[in-house]
Every structure is written in C-alpha cells, then in structure tokens.
Chains A and B, each alone.
Chain A
Amino acid sequence: MNVKADCRRKLLAVGITKTLRIMRLTAILLLVGSLTVSAHGRAQERVTLHLKGALLKTVLDKIQEQTGYDYVFSGKEIQPDMKLNVDVQNATIQQTLDDCLKGLPVTYEVTGKIIKIINRPLAPGSQMPDGAAPGPYSLVVYVVGEQGFRLAGATINIAALKVEGVTDDQGMLEVKNIAAGTYRVEVSFVGYQRAEEQIDVKEMRQVVTIGLKPATTHLDEVQVIAYGQTTQRLSTGDVTKVNSGDIEQQPVTNSLAALEGRVPGMFITQGSGMPGSPYVVQIRGLNSLFNGNDPFYVIDGVPYSSELLQSANPASGNGGYGSPLNFLNPADIESISILKDADATAIYGSRAANGAILITTKKGVAGNVRLNINVSGGVGRAPMKMNWLNTSQYLTMRNEAFANDSMQPSQGNAPDLLVWDTTRFTDWRKYFMGGTAMYNDIQGSISGGNTNTQYLIGGAYHKESTVFPGSWYDKKGSFHFNVTSSSNDGRFKSIITGNYNLDLSSLPTTDPTYSLRLPPDAPPIYNNDGSLNYSGYALVYANNPATYSLRHYSAHTNNLIANGIFSYTILKNLDAKVNVGYTDLQLDETSTLPIASQNPAYNPTGSCVFVNNNIHSWIAEPQIAYQVLYGLSKVNVLTGGTFNSIVSKGQDLSGYNYTSDGLLTDLQAAPLIIAQSITNSNYKYSALFGRLNYNFDDKYLVDLNLRRDGSSRFGPNNEFHDFGSIGAAWVFSKAKFVRNLLKFLSFGKIKTSFGTTGNDQIGDYKYYDLFNTTYYPYQGQIGLTPSNLYNPNLSWESTKKTEGAMSLGLFENRLLLDWSYFVNRSSNELILSTVPGVTGFSYVTENLPATVQNSGWEGVLNTINIKSKNFTWRSSFNITEAKNTLKTYPGLETSPFVNVFVVGQPVTIKKVFRSTGVDPTAGVYSFLDSKGAKTNSPAYATDRVGLVNTDPKFYGGLQNSFIYKGIQLDFLFQFIKQTGVNPQFQESTAPGFLGYNTPAVALDRWEKSGDTKPVEKYTQNYGSFAWTAYTNAQMSNLNYTDASFIRLKNVSLSWELPKRLVTRIHVQNVKVYVHGQNLWTIAKYKGMDPETQSLSTLPPLKILVGGIQFSI
C-alpha cells in the first residue's frame, strides 16, 4: 500500500466530465505525422465504440451486441443512467470497461460471459471519515473570480473526502457519491486568496458557488514569469513584482523611475532631470566587462530593445542614448516582474544573463462598461542644495589666486576683476534652473465585457515643461487597447494588445545646467535691445552662455508595440498557444546650431544634425503546454520555440554651412552634408525551449528549464548553444513536525536554483571580417579595408547563477520575510584581446576565460503592522548588499586595459594616487608614491596604487502604507550607501581660474603656512604647482567622497470619497490625490545630487502633482 495508489483511488471518486475529442486529436496527430498506435488482444472479443455522454446501460448494450457478453447490475445504488464516455478501437472487453468506467464509482467483474457491474470497493486500510460514507449525493462546486466569471483550473481540496481536483473549463468540479453532511472545502487559485467554506450537502445534487477574492498578501499574488505565471508561494525562482498601484502613485513618465528603491538586487540610476533621461539599470551587478549589461526587456511577451541606436538627446549626455521605455505610458502597465536567478531566467537562454524585466500591460475586465478618467497637474523644481561662491567670495578667490601665483591681474587675464561690473551678483542657479516645470496629465479608459470577451481602450495625454528659462516641453500622447476573448466552450482564447505612443520633445540642445559655473559678477545675458550680449562675454568666453536658448533639439518619436496571444485547448490539460508580436520604434531628431546662436565676430554659419533611427522587431513563439495531475502531484510541461528578428536602421547626417537660420531644419538646403554614421543591422534569433514543473501538494516543487538557442551574433562555429537550470523548493511549513513545533509560522519555504544563462549583447556582425570604406578615395574610387579579423568562434558570454533563498511567513503571513543569497559567475567574456601585429591587427574580439563574479544577499520584509476594520498599516522593506569581483583576466598585463582593471577587485574599480591632503607648509595637495614616500609629482604609471570602489555597498527602500477608511498615505524611502565623485574636483579648472565659479566647498582653503585645510591654495596659473597638484588630485582618492543618501522617493496621499457621496452623483468611485517625487534627500554629499553626481547635468526634479480620478 503506498500513498500514490491510495491517492489514485480517491481521485477516481471524482467524476470529471470527460471531453475527449478524438477526431481533432487525430487531425493534430496526422499533422505532426509521427503517430503509430497499436493495440493487442484476442481477436474474437473485440469492441469498437466511440460514444460521448452515453448512458452506462447503452454502453453495455453495445458491448453485448458486439461480443455477446451479457450484463447485470449488482447493488441497488448503482445508477444505470450515469453518463460516461467511451472511445475504443478493436479493444478487449477488459480494456473497454477499464476505459469507460474510469473515474466512476463503479467497477466490474467478468464471470464466464457475464459482466457484473458492482460498486467500487474502498481501499483496504483506509478510514472513511465520519459522515463521509459513500452515498448517493453529489456536490457541484463552481469557482468564480472577482467579476463573477468562472475560474478554470482552480484547485479544490476536500480533506474529509481526501479529494483534490481541478475545476474544468466552466470553473466547475463535481464530486459524486458522497453522503449528506457538512464538508470543509478549500479552494485555491493563482492570484487569489485561498478560500475555505463549510458546505452542507443536503440535496441530491448540491450546487454551490465559491467566490475568490484577489490575493492581498504578496504570497498569493500572481507573478508573471517567463512563459507563464506563478505566485510567490509556489515559485522556485527569484522574481520581484511591482504592481500598477505602486507605479501609478509616482508622477513619472518612464516606468523605470518607478522601480527605484523597490526591487532588491536592482540598481537604477537616473541620468538626468531632463525629460527623456536615460536610466542605467543593473540587475545583480555588472556581468560583462565590455558589452551590454542591460536586462532583457519583454513587454507582453515581445522582446523590447533596451537602447536607442543613436540619439542627439541632450538628456543623454555626451554620445549617450535615450531610454526606449520612455515611450511606454506607465499608466498602461499592470505589473512589472523582475527576474533574477537562473530558475527564472534560464528559459530566456542567451539573452537573460543580466536578468529580465517583464512588463505586462493592462487587460480588460468583465462587467459593466466602466469609464475611468484621471486628471492631474503639478509642478517640478530643481533641488538648490549646492551653493556656489557669491560675488564677494568669488572676487576674494580670484585676487587671492593672483597673490598666490605672485601675479598681477590685468585686463587681459582678469577681465572679471577689472572690466566687468564687480558689484553685480547673479544667482545663476536661479537663472538657469530656478524655473518651475509644469506637469499636465490626463488618462482615460473604457473597459468592460462579458465572460467571453473583455476589452480595454485607453488614451492619455501628458505634457511637461522644464525648469529652464524658455518654453521647452515634452508632450506625449498614447493609446492602449486590449481585447481578451474566448469561445463559448472556452477552448479558444485570444488576447490582443496594442500600445501606441507619440512623443514630441522640444528641448535645448545642451543642458543649460552647465552654465551654473558662470562667475557671479558676469554681465547681463541680454543687451537692452533683447539681443544676446556677446561683447560682454567675449573677454572670457567664445560665446554667450544663453546661446542654448536658440539651439533647438526637437524629437519626434512613434512607438508601436502590438501582440497577440492565441491559445487552443486541444485536449483537457493540453494547450497549444502562439504568441506573436511586433514593435516599431521610430525616432526622428533635429538639433540645430543657428547662426544667431554663435558669436557674430567669427562669421559663423549654421549647422544642423539630423538623426533618425528605427528599430522594428517581430517575434513568434509557438508553445504547447501540458498538465498532468497525478494524485497530489501536478506536472506542468511546456515546450516552445522562438523566432525573433530585430532590424535596426539609423542615420546621423549633419548639414553644414547654412547661411540662413530659416532653412536650418531642411537638410536639402545644406551646402555641405556629411553622413556621420549609418547603421543597418539585422539580428535574428531562434530557439527551442522547454520547462518541466513538478509540484507535489504545494510542498515539494521542482522546476527544470532548458533552452537551445541560436543567434546571428555568434560565429558559425558557435551559433547554437544550450542553456538550462534547475530550481527546487520545499515548503517546509507544510511538514507536520513544523506545523506542530512552530505554530507561529504560517509559511516557510527554502529554495535553491542553479543554471546558466548567456549574454548576447555583444553587437551585431562582430565575428565577420568586415570591410569598411576608406576615409580617402584612391584613384577617385573609394577603397575597402578590413576592419577586423574573422572569428568564427565568437560566442555569447555565459553566466552561471546560483541562488539559495528562504521565505518565511509569520502570524498568518502578516509578516513575510524573504532572504536570498546569490553567486553569479560570468565567464567567456568577450574581450578585445591582444594578438601579435604579424596577424595584421593588434586586437581581435575574442571570448576569453575572464571571470566576473557578482555575489550578495537580498532581503525583503513585508509586514502588515496593523489591520483593523478601518485602519491598515503595511510596511515593505528591502535591502541588497552585493559585491562585484573580477576573478580572473588572462593576459591583463598585455591588454590595453591593464590600467583599468585589477584582478580581485570590482570591475568598476578606480586606480588612484593616494593623497595625504593639503600640505600645511606648501599649501598644495601632496601624494604618496607607490612605496609610501611623500611626493609632489606622482607618476601615473606606477604610483596609482590606491583603489576606490564606486559600487554601491548596499541599497534598498522602505515603503509604508497607511489606509484609514478611504484615505491612503504611502511613502517610499530609497537608500544607497556608496562612494561617488567629489564635486570639489569636478571642475576642469582649479578654484581661482578665470571664468569659472566654484562650489562653495572651496571656501575652506589653505591661506597661510600651518593651515590644515581640505582645499589647497587658490591658483589661476597653469604653470603653478597648485595647478599640477589639482590635476593630480583629480586622479587621486580625493576625487571620491561619500555619496550615500536617503531619499524620500515618493509620497502619495489619496482620498477615496465615501460610496454614499459618489452614488448620489452617479459615479462608481472618486479619488482625489497628491503625489510627490524626490521631495527630500538626506546626504552628506556636497554636490548637486548624489545620484547623478554631476555639476553639469540637471539633477532629478522634485515633483508634486495633484489630481482626481473617477470612474463611471
């Protein structure tokens, strides 16, 4: 007697409406073309029967017809009119009866030529619980969800009957042949709270409906994972989910901004406070030394490019790129899942070494038509934390610098002292970034539908201006729709989703923040007649600092993301599905340099940069999923294939020598056109994947993932590769001894995973021996020269991920703790490795066994601190501590990166001079050489023995949420412990030089012998010791400082008007709210912002937005 057999027997008591559709199956099988079935048995007693929903009596009559066997019913409770299915071809009587009586409460005996139908005996040794003796009653349970639609696949557990089953397509499960009485029925379904109800079975066919509420504990919320979904309770992988609720509370236009501080293991840095700013996203550290470290983005199953090809976007900084996620409306996002470990990412194969971010957009919900409108408006201001010298401090500095250098100010070297009006003072912070950015946003959607079809149509408009003087803006319009439908029998389902986003940006071509360093006594920007004051500035600068106001960057972006998921239930538990998607991102930019914006003294001509780039991709992913229930075991098998193509085209053209500003944006009118770069690349990817998921009683969980993929980026010798992972979890809180011993423990799980993933962000065509055109023609014809060596072995970078994790739920899961430890090792790094010049080249792009390790731990604590009828207080805390180490780098000494990397240190390590600070006697920074002796002139090659680690030491966030009746207050603190760039040394010139104001930290300087100060003496002379010392200090440990901070990232206060008030005005609900972003930052950091760590880019703005949301 084993457990399995027992379970099986009990399962047989469950009457499941069979829906075998053999004809269709046969068709499928013929299509596949690989089926041969043969049956064995004695020829004279063959039965061929294809009946559906036939009466038992009818079936037995047919058997009698074909074989001559008679039948009797033994026992009065046997109902000859019970319905059954039979589907046999040339089968024996035994086979036929086994097949058709399977799952029915009766069985048979064959004696001679008589078939005897008898009651199915109970398993020997099993105890029938009280009141659960077999009886004529049956219980029909319907499981319904939030809007009243039925839930197929919900698990029903009736402990007293030892019954566990799954609801069918109609959300129904029928339990037959039970006695009257009261049963405790447990229902669970992914994404819903478990429900338990006492059901009285009084009628012969007792029908009950059990409603499930959407999950509120994190444990049972739906988590979107690769090709499926799960819950935190049952997942074997490491997945963090951020919900629309958290995203909507943040007045951001890029959903990545909403993730800052919320996801353990994910470090996000905002590039700038300008609209369209890029975000650097790292999941569990830097894996690749030279290639892409972006996570793999997937929107509704469609891979999404992580970066724009090229862009003139001023927010991107020098030569950077914008963020494509800027072109997806955050309000359209239902949830974002961040996949980290091998178990969660290995099924993405060579693309997900850096983790994956799955974005799911909103879907329609069945029910009445619902119109939802959300209108908001607000303001944004730049933080004014950092002070610059005022006029008197500036003049003192300049004069002191001349004195220190033993030089006299003259009109030539000190027009700021001798020509300019030294009584003037302008706070350039206020001038250049003291404005108020205005935010206007309106979102509207209509949704509704019935059980078969649900839809959602939404549109949005967003406009924001900037804090800079001038009428700059970024406008977005977006459209989102979703239609979900299923056939009447629920077998065919389709989900069609589309997102379209249109963005218009009008911004200055450069970030005006750079001009904050103007001397405070600089002359007025404009002449009295309103023209730019060139002559006043000409003494110091080539140009007027406000010329940016005439240089116009304009960008026009269209982004389309469309996908469809079509699934068909071939057999019960066997689903075929295909996911097709298309994305098209088109960016057109112009960036002008008008004649009017240049000093007329130089007879300038105008120029304009024209960038357009287009990335379009399509994907098709056919899949087959199969579920086997076997007692308490659930096995899910998924196999599928991926075909993906991404075509990137771009061109960067410059028009020069315009003689009229009026024609600047017309490329045809340019006297000289130069193509700066033309991109045309095609990426193709195909794969097969499979997943096997085993679940025993929600207690033991095993997950196997496999993927074989091929990518056009790899050389012919290494085009295909296999990736895989194994994950396992044990829900130990289900173990009896744990339940008995640790009563406070409501949930406990330990899990581990191991596997490999790859990184293919190595650029297209790297392995080819490409020939590029020569700069000069020869004999009037362009030449072709090889640009690199052919490397047919080029392949992906691979990352081995190992993780161990534990989840604990205490006090009925009011306290949920997750803790994970991970070690990721990336190797096969793609490196420019040195080859001897005799090969014709100095370097070749090769996979080298260099290894980078990222390890660390992450902790998340979710608590429900108070939960009463009217008041709820929840908290969520997450923290990550991680370490990056370059483990090995063969040939580092001879590589061009010998000064960049240090084995045993993080890959971002900075090699610096060691400074002893300002020498009290000399008044300049002094240093130590490699042997520790004091020196004023450290040698770049040998004395940079100090190491500075700028990786974050730990980071995380704390969110609190208070709900009192309809009032909800949320606030999120983000914290980071890190070392960053010291603003004191960010200026290209030392304090005292002509034309540059300096951060006020420079006031604390050395003045006379014996002073012990952090800032050296002022200088204004490139020949002085102080200047040399300053440039050395920039390469020393002094250039780094504590850039840790705690930021009140988000505050959200909302009030949902009481129902009795809103029903009077015939609306369903009304909510008014105030959202704030980046409102308060605590940091020792002396610069403008510890996140952007720059004195030349606009820091993230403080934003406050108020709005009203209502639905009808």
Chain B
Amino acid sequence: MKKSVIYILFGWLLLSGGSCKKFSEVPPPSTSLTGATVYSSNATASAAINGIYATMLTNSVGGGTHGISGLLGLSGDEFDLYSNATDMLLSQAYVNALLSTNAPPMWDDLYNIIYQANSAIEGLTKSQGVTAEMRSQLVGESEFIRAFCYFYLVNLYGDVPLVITTNYQENETVSRTPQQKVYQQIVLDLLDAQAKLSANYLSFNGSVSTERARPNKAAATALLARVYLFTDSLSSAEVEATEVINNSAFVLDSNLNNVFVSTSQEAIWQLESPNSGGNTPDGATFLLNMFGGPGGYYPYLLADSIVFGFEPGDLRRVNWIDSIQVGGTTYYFPYKYKLNYTGQPPTEYPTVLRLAEQYLIRAEAEAQLGDLNGAASDLNTIRKRAGLDMTAATSQQQLIEAIMRERRYELFTEYGHRWLDLKRTGKVDSVMTVVTPAKGGHWQTTDQWYPIPISDVQSDSKIQQNQGYQ
C-alpha cells in the first residue's frame, strides 16, 4: 500500500509539473508593445520609425535650448550668451569649459536614437509580417538615421564606441572605436540606405508625401556627400552632391523667407513639427522678440561677428537676422525660423539638410580638386541668391577661403556647421584662441571635443574620457 501511495504522489507530480511552464507565460500588455511584436506589421514597424523622429524632435537633434544648433553655436563663434543666463550648461559651453559631470546631452540623445535604429534594423531583418517594400524603406531610414547620429558623434567626441546591436549586456562594456572605422560604418549605412530608400518622399503608410519628413534616397545621397567631404573623398563628394543638385525636386528658392518653411523646395530632409500649436524648437529658443528680449531662459544672442560680418547688400542679413531693443541695447537673433508658438498648425519645420549646403560641398570639392571654374560657379549660385555679386576669388586658396566664408554666412546657427567646419579644417585653435578669451574663457585645444558624460566613463571602464576632462 505504501508503494501505491508513492506512485500516486509521483504520478501526480508529473501531471501537474508538465503544465507549469506553459501557464506562466503571458502575452505583453495590450497597452504597449514589445520588440518582438513591434516589427511584425507595416503599421507598427512604421510607428516605431515614427517614434525615432518624434524622439529626435524632443531631444537635442530637434533643437532647443540644449539643441545641436544652439550649443555648438555657443561653443564656437556664432552665439553670445546673455549675461543673466541661468543655465549652467550654456554658461560652461560658452566659455569652452564643459564638465563631464554636466555634459552636453548629445551623447545620450544620439545613442538613444542609435538604439532605436539598431532595434529597427534587427527587428525588420527578422520580421515576417512587414512587406518587402516597406521593410526596405524602413531599414533604409534606420540606416540613414544611424549614420546621421554617428556623423555627429564622431564630430563632437572623436573616437566613439560603435554600437550596432541592442544587446545591452554587450554594449555596456564597449570601448571607443577609431573615427575612421566609425566613418566606414557611416558610409556603409548610407550606401545601403541609398540603395534601399525610395526616390520619393513617403508618408507613414508608404504613399508618396508632399512633405519631406522622412529621408529618401536624395537625403542619403546628400548626407553621403557631406561625409565624403569630411573624410576628404573629394571626387566622391562631388559625385554625390551633383546627384542631389541635378535632382529637379530641389530648387534654391529666390525668396529667402521660404527656405525654412514646411513647404520649402530647398529642403532635403526636415523633421515634421508636431501639430501642437508650436513650430520649431530652435525658433522657440532663438526668437527673442517673442519674449520681449533675452532672459535667463532665452540667453542666445547672435554674435557680432555674424551680424556685422555680412557683405553690404547681403539679403541674408536682412531676411535671416532680426533684433530687439531692450533698455537701449539692441539684441540680434537668428531669424531663419520666424515663428514660435502660434496655436495654429505649424508652418515651419526644423530643416536638417538643404540644397544650399550641397552647392557649397560641391564647390569645396571642386576647388580642392582644382576645378576652379566649377567651384566659383557653385559658389556664385549661392551668392546670387543672397543678392551678392560674383565672387572675386580666383586662386584655389582664395576660392577655398571664400567658400568657407560663404558656409559661415549661409549656414549660420544651423546644426553646428560652423563648429564642425572649424574643426575639420584645422582652424579651430587659431580661431578659438581669440574668440574664447573674448567670451571670458581660456581656450585649450582639448576643448574642441566634448566631454563624455561621467556616468558612462564610470559605468563602462573601457570608455576613456576625452583629454582635458579626466
């Protein structure tokens, strides 16, 4: 009898044990999705990519007080800082005395977007439920986004960890990858994106859109042109820029006030502002006339070197700069974006890539390669639109200098072009040793790289801090 009892107990355990494992597996909550389910249909996969743009809009990529345009302009010579500024980070960036304990947000922001792009690439590659066409487009967009983020990372931090998977257990022990290798990945991603992306601008559901809110093939080409220029692949830069310039979708609008609007014919890629009554984060930050002058939270003042550096008759000085007088002092501010909160659907979008830059990229490549006529022609296209005469530069050296100067006045306070140009052309030390003391700081060559947030250096012992911030 005892034996039979043991058998009963044993059999009972077997019976109940088998059903245990299955039972405790639950589906994810209906109020959110998991990585496994997001990339299983066109709609949710597309929404995940939407989430990337929405994230960009609300972090430093979209602009705003700690945005790329503002902070990089402040580090360089585009912005002055209002004396009563309350923001510690802005004050530190202004005098080129950043601290790793209060590091700029780009590191975390860009890597967060990279995570999302990695997640999308991984998920879409494995996905069964997304149509081939949509998958190709979304993978292309993700690769474009990843390349865009790494471009800013290498330009702000130098060597950065190259993270192309989502596994945090691996990624939390990565070390820094040489810039050159990061650039290789950027080029790989952009070439693949070029192949995968549609030539048209698409909307959420894959239909053709009038808005340029999702990168297309031309956007990948434009960014690739910039990357080639930055890595001295000049003939490739020329080829890519030419492809964009020859694309009839893009036109240099003769009216400078139409460059940054949502219907801009010059835009190659814009982030679509949400329909919440506001327009662009940079507009909301820089437009001092909206707040009755500068203040603790609105401390961005356009530097005199920009305001008074234009050639006489430059239409950009008139159309892209405005001022406000407070207590007898005139404060200048960028007026590329002209609207803050309107309570109406937005009519201006943050413009990340636009045609004018492509002309300047090609001009610079041509000048470097010795095609001086071509360079002058492209430069003059930009000057003509600004209401200026043909360039007087004739020699290669003069032309290059003229192009760099044109870049400064065409692309001021836009996505840190000036700061990146100073660094890639090796002029950063000579310029900043003059500018920084004037801003009240002390320039060291190590200041051209931003500090990595201290939390990263502490939680990943393999990440070495940039020189000057240890």
User: Could you say which residues of chain A place their CB within 8 Å of the CB of B24?
Assistant: 684-686, 710-712, 719
User: Could you say which residues of chain A place their CB within 8 Å of the CB of B172?
Assistant: 835-836, 838-839
B47 touches A782 (CB 8 A): yes
Give the Cβ gap from A973 to chain B, nearest Cβ, in Å: 46
Partner of A841, one of B12, B16, B53, B112: B112
Is A1112 interfacial (CB-CB < 8 Å)?
no
Partner of A777, one of B20, B30, B33, B274: B274
Quick one: closest B residue to A770, CB to CB? B32
Per-position contact with A for B1-29: 1 when CB-CB < 8 Å, else 0? 11111011111111111011101111111
B29 touches A680 (CB 8 A): yes
Which B134-179 residues have C-beta < 8 A from chain A?
Answer: 160-161, 163, 166, 168, 171-172, 174
Is B248 interfacial (CB-CB < 8 Å)?
no
Quick one: closest B residue to A893, CB to CB? B458
User: Could you say which residues of chain A place their CB within 8 Å of the CB of B203?
Assistant: 779
B455 touches A836 (CB 8 A): yes
Is A75 interfacial (CB-CB < 8 Å)?
no
B213 touches A32 (CB 8 A): no
B168 touches A844 (CB 8 A): yes
Q: CA–CA, A574 to B2, complex, Å?
A: 11
Q: Interface stretch among A583-591, A784-792, A868-876?
A: A784-792
Counting chain A CB atoms within 10 Å of each CB, which of B3, B5, B19, B30 scores highest? B5
B166 touches A784 (CB 8 A): no
Q: Interface stretch among B54-62, B313-321, B438-446?
A: B54-62
Per-position contact with B for A214-258: 1 when CB-CB < 8 Å, else 0? 000000000000000000000000000000000000000000000
Per-position contact with B for A1-41: 1 when CB-CB < 8 Å, else 0? 00000000000000000001000010011011111010000
Give the Cβ gap from A942 to chain B, nearest Cβ, in Å: 14
User: Could you say which residues of chain B place their CB within 8 Å of the CB of A20?
Assistant: 1
Quick one: closest A residue to B55, CB to CB? A785
B107 touches A837 (CB 8 A): yes
Is A135 interfacial (CB-CB < 8 Å)?
no
B463 touches A838 (CB 8 A): yes
Q: CA–CA, A563 to B270, complex, Å?
A: 61
Q: Interface stretch among A637-645, A660-668, A1080-1088?
A: A637-645
- A779-B272, A784-B51, A840-B112 in contact; A720/B28 too (CB < 8 A)? no
Per-position contact with A for B48-83: 1 when CB-CB < 8 Å, else 0? 111111110110000000000000000000000000
Give the Cβ gap from B88 to chain A, nearest Cβ, in Å: 14
- A770-B32, A789-B168 in contact; A29/B7 too (CB < 8 A)? yes
Q: Interface stretch among B113-121, B358-366, B377-385?
A: B113-121
Is A866 interfacial (CB-CB < 8 Å)?
no
Per-position contact with A for B119-134: 1 when CB-CB < 8 Å, else 0? 1000000000000000
Give the Cβ gap from B273 to chain A, nearest Cβ, in Å: 9
Quick one: closest A residue to B115, CB to CB? A840
Q: Interface stretch among A468-476, A506-514, A540-548, A761-769?
A: A761-769
Q: Is the interface of B mostly helix, strand, loop or mixed?
A: helix
B23 touches A686 (CB 8 A): yes
A781 touches B47 (CB 8 A): yes
Partner of A29, one of B4, B57, B107, B108: B4
A839 touches B171 (CB 8 A): yes
Partner of B26, one of A628, A712, A784: A712
Per-position contact with B for A465-489: 1 when CB-CB < 8 Å, else 0? 0000000000000000000000000
User: Could you say which residues of chain A place their CB within 8 Å of the CB of B437?
Assistant: none
B32 touches A782 (CB 8 A): no
Is A696 interfacial (CB-CB < 8 Å)?
no
- A684-B24, A838-B456, A840-B166 in contact; A34/B204 too (CB < 8 A)? no
Quick one: closest A residue to B49, CB to CB? A783
Give the Cβ gap from A341 to chain B, nearest Cβ, in Å: 26
B23 touches A684 (CB 8 A): yes
Quick one: closest A residue to B35, CB to CB? A769
A32 touches B12 (CB 8 A): yes
Give the Cβ gap from A793 to chain B, nearest Cβ, in Å: 8
User: Could you say which residues of chain B place their CB within 8 Å of the CB of A628?
Assistant: 2
Is A1001 interfacial (CB-CB < 8 Å)?
no
Give the Cβ gap from A351 to chain B, nearest Cβ, in Å: 13
Is A737 interfacial (CB-CB < 8 Å)?
no
Give the Cβ gap from B185 to chain A, nearest Cβ, in Å: 14
Quick one: closest A residue to B50, CB to CB? A783
Which B430-470 residues have C-beta < 8 A from chain A?
Answer: 453, 455-456, 458-460, 463
User: Could you say which residues of chain A place their CB within 8 Å of the CB of B58?
Assistant: 775-776
Is A678 interfacial (CB-CB < 8 Å)?
yes
Q: CA–CA, A836 to B272, complex, Å?
A: 30
Per-position contact with A for B274-304: 1 when CB-CB < 8 Å, else 0? 1110000000000000000000000000000
Give the Cβ gap from B232 to chain A, nearest Cβ, in Å: 27
Q: CA–CA, A834 to B12, complex, Å?
A: 46
Counting chain A CB atoms within 10 Å of each CB, which of B21, B211, B456 scores highest? B456
A680 touches B35 (CB 8 A): no
B7 touches A32 (CB 8 A): yes
Q: CA–CA, A746 to B71, complex, Å?
A: 82
Give the Cβ gap from A575 to chain B, nearest Cβ, in Å: 11
B50 touches A784 (CB 8 A): yes
A34 touches B163 (CB 8 A): no
Q: CA–CA, A841 to B110, complex, Å?
A: 11
User: Could you say which residues of chain B place their CB within 8 Å of the CB of A782?
Assistant: 47, 50
Q: CA–CA, A681 to B49, complex, Å?
A: 26
Which B163-202 residues have C-beta < 8 A from chain A?
Answer: 163, 166, 168, 171-172, 174
Which A591-647 residues have C-beta < 8 A from chain B?
Answer: 622, 624, 626, 628, 637, 639, 641, 643
Give the Cβ gap from B118 to chain A, nearest Cβ, in Å: 8
A784 touches B33 (CB 8 A): yes
Q: CA–CA, A784 to B46, complex, Å?
A: 9
User: Could you say which residues of chain B place their CB within 8 Å of the CB of A771?
Assistant: 32-35, 38, 48, 51
Is A899 interfacial (CB-CB < 8 Å)?
no
Is A1098 interfacial (CB-CB < 8 Å)?
no
Q: CA–CA, A133 to B53, complex, Å?
A: 97
User: Could you say which residues of chain B place their CB within 8 Å of the CB of A67?
Assistant: none
User: Could you say which residues of chain B place their CB within 8 Å of the CB of A1041?
Assistant: none
Give the Cβ gap from A227 to chain B, nearest Cβ, in Å: 15
User: Could you say which residues of chain A place their CB within 8 Å of the CB of B38?
Assistant: 771, 784
Q: CA–CA, A682 to B26, complex, Å?
A: 7
A626 touches B46 (CB 8 A): no
User: Could you say which residues of chain B place their CB within 8 Å of the CB of A637?
Assistant: 9
A688 touches B16 (CB 8 A): yes
Is B425 interfacial (CB-CB < 8 Å)?
no
Is B329 interfacial (CB-CB < 8 Å)?
no
Give the Cβ gap from A610 to chain B, nearest Cβ, in Å: 17
B8 touches A776 (CB 8 A): no
- A34-B11, A779-B50, A782-B47 in contact; A688/B5 too (CB < 8 A)? no
User: Could you say which residues of chain A place their CB within 8 Å of the CB of B1?
Assistant: 20, 571
Q: CA–CA, A774 to B15, complex, Å?
A: 46
Is A461 interfacial (CB-CB < 8 Å)?
no
User: Could you say which residues of chain B place their CB within 8 Å of the CB of A841?
Assistant: 112, 115, 168
Q: CA–CA, A841 to B108, complex, Å?
A: 7
User: Could you say which residues of chain B place their CB within 8 Å of the CB of A840?
Assistant: 111-112, 114-116, 118, 163, 166, 168, 171
Give the Cβ gap from B161 to chain A, nearest Cβ, in Å: 5
B274 touches A778 (CB 8 A): yes
Quick one: closest B residue to A28, CB to CB? B8
User: Could you say which residues of chain A place their CB within 8 Å of the CB of B114?
Assistant: 840
CB within 8 Å of A: which residues of B?
A: 1-5, 7-17, 19-21, 23-35, 38, 44, 46-55, 57-58, 107-108, 111-112, 114-116, 118-119, 160-161, 163, 166, 168, 171-172, 174, 203-204, 209, 211, 213-214, 272, 274-276, 453, 455-456, 458-460, 463
A-B contact pairs, 8 of them (CB 8 A): A686-B19, A774-B54, A777-B54, A777-B275, A779-B204, A790-B35, A790-B166, A840-B118
Q: A639-B9, A837-B453 are in contact. List 18 more A-B contacts (CB 8 A).
A: A28-B8, A29-B4, A32-B12, A34-B14, A643-B23, A681-B29, A710-B23, A765-B29, A770-B32, A771-B51, A778-B272, A783-B53, A783-B55, A787-B32, A834-B459, A836-B455, A839-B171, A840-B112
